[in-house]
Structure formats: structure tokens, C-alpha cells
Chains A and B, each alone.
Chain A
Amino acid sequence: MRVPTLAAKELSTLFTSPIAYAVIAVFMVLSGYTFTVTLIVSKQATLVHIFFQAAVQLILLVPLITMRQFAEERRSGTLELLLTAPLREIEIVVAKFIACMVVVGAMTSLTLIYALVLTVYGQPDWGPIYSGYLGLILFGAALIAIGLMISALTANQIVAAVVSLGLFGILWAIDTLASLLPHPFENWLLGLSLLAHFTPFAVGAMYLSDFGFFLTVVLLGLFLTVRALARS
């Protein structure tokens, strides 16, 4: 019962500040603009452009959701309240992860209206739409896990946001650096690229390896967050 209690508290914290609303609103305005423009220009019933843009928007917006999760608790001293209550670190981390996922889930699910529009006025291929949404959720989960880990390492929200943004940017575009490296280093860096693992989902090709990559990033991020909170 403690994880739902904590997750509910995290959600109420997120939605009593304007951050969650602002993040969702900006996400919807930008993706709505892109959907309209690409639909008018290309006249194709596809959401591929939306998925790629949504991924970039998540890179920019997820740090705003995760930055305060631990940094603010540490700064205000409430982390001491939680860590001295009969709770396990993993429960605190999972609750915050769930709360952040609800926000990202709300953002992505609101874009389902575009899929609905395509269905009404055209005949979209649903395979890439299903895989694209799965990819977005996995991508968002990976970003949240990394963002939480960084937030757990500092008491300053701005530092947490900036470092998260920088790391997300590097992991997104690391494949451009990979092309400069000799074999096998090239493949190693490509293996870390968020873009390389997200692209198959966005275009309708799902591979177990990409699924495993995002799952690994999520589990590793949450594990390192728990370690960052561990009593020293």
C-alpha cells in the first residue's frame, strides 16, 4: 500500500504546481502544429513525423518533470522524512517513476486524437501507430529513469534539469559521433543511441533488442537512483 500512497502524493505534487500543466500544454501545441502541417503538406495518413517530434519534445520536457523529484525533496528536507519512515528506497523511487509516467502517459495519450482524425478522414496503417506509441512510452520511461537518477544526485532542480537535458541530447545524437569511430567502437556507441533504438518503433518495425535496450535503461536508471538514495 505504500507505493500507491507515495505515487498519489507525487501526482498531487506534480499537478498542484503549474509545471505538469505547462509541460502537457506545450507538448500538445507543438505536436498539434506538426500534425496539421504534415497532414496538409504530405496528405498521408501517418503519425511517423509526430512520433519523431514527440520524442524530441520528451527530451526537452521530461527534465522539467523529473528535475524536482528528488532535488526538491532533498533541498526542502522532506527526503529525510521519507528515508526515516518505515519505507524502502525502492518504494520511493518506484512511486516517483509511476507518477512521472502518468504525466508522460497523459501527454502521449492526448495525441491519440490525431490517430482518431486520421481514422475518420483516411485509412491509416495501424501497425506503425501501435508500435510508435509503444516506442514513445518506452522512450519516455527511459528518460524518466535517467532523469530521476540525476535528480537524486543533487539538491538543485536547475542543475538536475540541465544535466538531464545534456545527457538526453548526447544519448539521442550519439550515433553521429559513432560514424567517426573505427569498428567495433562504432557499434558500441550506436548501441547507446536513443534515436537508433527508437526509429524502428516509429516506423513500425519492432525488435526485441530495442525493447530490451529501453527496459535495461529503465531498470539500470532506477537501480542507480536507489543507490544514490542509499543511506551512507
Chain B
Amino acid sequence: MAVLSLDGLSKRFGARLAVDAVSFDVEGREVFGLLGPNGSGKSTILRLVTGYLRPTAGRARVAGIDVVRDGFAARRCIGYVPESAPLYGHMRVAEFLAFMGRLRGLSGKGLARAVDAAVDRLALGPVRSVIIERLSHGYRQRVSLAQAVLHEPELLVLDEPSNGLDPRQIIELRGLLRQLAQNCAVLVTSHILSEIERTADRVAILLDGRLLTVEAIGRETAVVPPPSRLEALFLELTQAKAI
């Protein structure tokens, strides 16, 4: 069964049809990329999937659960990183993760284990006790990813996760996405073709809210393509710089 299934999903804002009868499925352990120019409806689709917006027509199901009819249960199955990776800046990293874990029903030792696991997975150990507003953009992105995977969701939804990252951070993000996809389905948007091509198993291309095509990238799932020559040079010269 598909982890995410969109069936004729549409969203209208006044006179503008932002998403026009979009249908596709995302399987488990798959990185599925949504590609399209700005304003093509990528973020709106993610907001429909996560229940932030209600569709005008059609439906979305996560793990077989309709996101409108049983939004509460559907949201339990989703981890979401919005485009700007919003965080509570006054909290410390571990405090924020514990807060998000409690909101998702974790408590006691289970919560502590989940926070530790997310910190390890996203390599947040060095900044665990740091106040979030003092973190670099790369670390903030990692914290945002960590809160999304705390409860081991079946679907991870990422909106433009490489925005604002430097080349080193983007390269690390590629590996991270593949790693995360070992445990769940990943739906990721980008308007950078090369990034999606390197991380996704399949891509959907959108234009003006319409789905133009769904294409398989055509490579081994677990393989992250090596950095390009320029990327390798950049990595070598900037090795000392942490994320």
C-alpha cells in the first residue's frame, strides 16, 4: 500500500486554482520529489497533505487515513519541515525536541529515547544544549528535521529543505535524506533540478498547479551520487568548517 496517495487533489484560492486535480502515490522508503517553478503549487500540495490547508476537491490519504476526515490520526503519521524551518528560538535544542515530542504523544523514557535518537541521527550532539536562535542556518535545518523524525513518521514532508544552505550543507543533506528514507517515505519539494535528481527516486513535475508527469530517476535507491568535481574541491578546501 502507498504511504501517500493523492486522488484528484485540488485547491482553489478565490479565483485562482493553485492545485488542479493532482494524483500520485508515494511508496514507503522512497524519496519522491516535487519539481516546479515558483508558484507551481508545490508548497500548497505539501500543506494539503499535512492538513494545514483543506482541499477544495479530491482527497489525500496518509497510511490509508484521509487527511480531512481523520486529520488528527493522519497528522500522527507525518513529520513536516515547512519551507522556512520555523523553530522556537528561545528554546534549547533538546528542550524544543522534547516539546515537539510531547505534542506528538511521547512521554517519559520513550520521549527521552526519541530525543536522543533524533539528536544522534541528525548529529546534533554538539549543540544539544544551545539556544536555537544562536544556531547557524544549517543546524537549524537539522533541528527542524529532527523534530520531524522524532516520532518515526511513516511520511516525511520537506518543503525546500536546501534553501539557504551552503554547498557543504547541501551535500550533507543529500546523504541525510537517503538515510531518512530507509525508515519512511519522503516527499520533498525543490526548484533546483540537480538536487532532486541526486536524491529522489521519482519526481513529479508541476506547472501552474497541474501535474505534467511523474518520472523515475532510474538508479539504485540507496546510492547517493558522488559530489561533482567542483563540489569535491569545495569540500576539500572548506573541510574545517562545520555545518
Which A residues are closer than 8 A to B by beta carbons? 1-2, 5-6, 9, 12-13, 16-17, 76-78, 80-88, 231-232
Contacts and interface: CB of A to CB of B under 8 A. Distances in A.
B86 A12 contact: no
B84 A231 contact: no
Contacts of B104: 85-86
Given A76-B86, A77-B82, A78-B88, A5 B102 contact: yes
B107 A1 contact: yes
B79 to A, nearest CB: 9
B100 interface: yes
Given A80-B47, A84-B82, 12 more contacts: A5-B99, A5-B102, A9-B88, A9-B91, A9-B99, A77-B82, A77-B84, A80-B82, A82-B103, A84-B75, A87-B75, A232-B54
23 contacts: A1-B107, A2-B103, A9-B99, A12-B90, A17-B90, A77-B82, A77-B83, A77-B84, A77-B86, A78-B86, A78-B87, A80-B52, A80-B80, A80-B82, A81-B82, A84-B51, A84-B75, A84-B80, A85-B100, A85-B103, A85-B104, A232-B53, A232-B54
Interface string B120-145: 00000000000000000000000000
Contacts of A82: 103
> Which 10 A-B pairs rank lowest in CB-CB distance, beginning with the nearest?
A77-B86, A84-B50, A5-B102, A86-B75, A16-B90, A78-B86, A86-B76, A85-B103, A84-B80, A77-B84
Given A86-B103, A87-B103, A81 B72 contact: no
> How many B residues are at the interface, by size bracket?
20 to 34
Contacts of B147: 81
Contact of A231 (B52, B76, B83, B86): B52
Nearest to A84: B50
Contacts of B52: 80, 83-84, 231
A82 B86 CA distance: 10
B226 interface: no
Contact of B103 (A5, A12, A76, A80): A5
B103 A6 contact: yes
B218 interface: no
Nearest to A16: B90
A9 to B, nearest CB: 6
Contacts of A16: 90
Nearest to A2: B103
Contacts of A17: 90
B17 to A, nearest CB: 15
B71 to A, nearest CB: 8
B242 to A, nearest CB: 25
B63 interface: no
A226 to B, nearest CB: 14
A6 B102 CA distance: 9
Nearest to A13: B90
Contact of A2 (B47, B75, B91, B102): B102
A10 B31 CA distance: 36
A208 B107 CA distance: 42
Contact of B78 (A78, A80, A84): A84
Contact of A80 (B71, B72, B86, B105): B86
B95 to A, nearest CB: 9
Contacts of A87: 75, 103
Contacts of A77: 82-84, 86
Interface in B62-118: 71-73, 75-76, 78, 80, 82-84, 86-88, 90-91, 99-100, 102-105, 107
A84 B159 CA distance: 13
B88 A13 contact: yes
Nearest to B98: A5
A2 B103 CA distance: 6
A88 B88 CA distance: 20
A80 to B, nearest CB: 5
A81 B73 CA distance: 16
